[in-house]
Amino acid sequence: MNVRWTDNAIDHLTSIYEYIALNSPMYAKQMVDRITRRSEQIACQPLSGRKVPEYDADDIRELIERPYRIIYWIKESQIDILAVIHGARLLTDDIPSV
Confidence of residue 97 (pLDDT cuts 50, 70, 90): low
Dist. CA 7–CA 82, nearest whole Å: 8
pTM over 0.85: yes
User: In this model, does residue 33 exceed pLDDT 90?
Assistant: yes
pLDDT digits (tens, 9 = 90+) for 47-89: 999 999 888 899 999 999 999 999 999 999 999 999 999 886 6
CB 38 within 8 A of CB 65: yes
Determine the pLDDT at residue 87.
Answer: 80
In this structure, which topology does domain 2-86 adopt according to CATH? YaeB-like fold (3.30.2310)
Q: What is the phi/psi pair of residue 43, to 5°?
A: -65, -40
Q: Which amino acid is at 93?
A: D
Domain ranges of the chain: 2-86
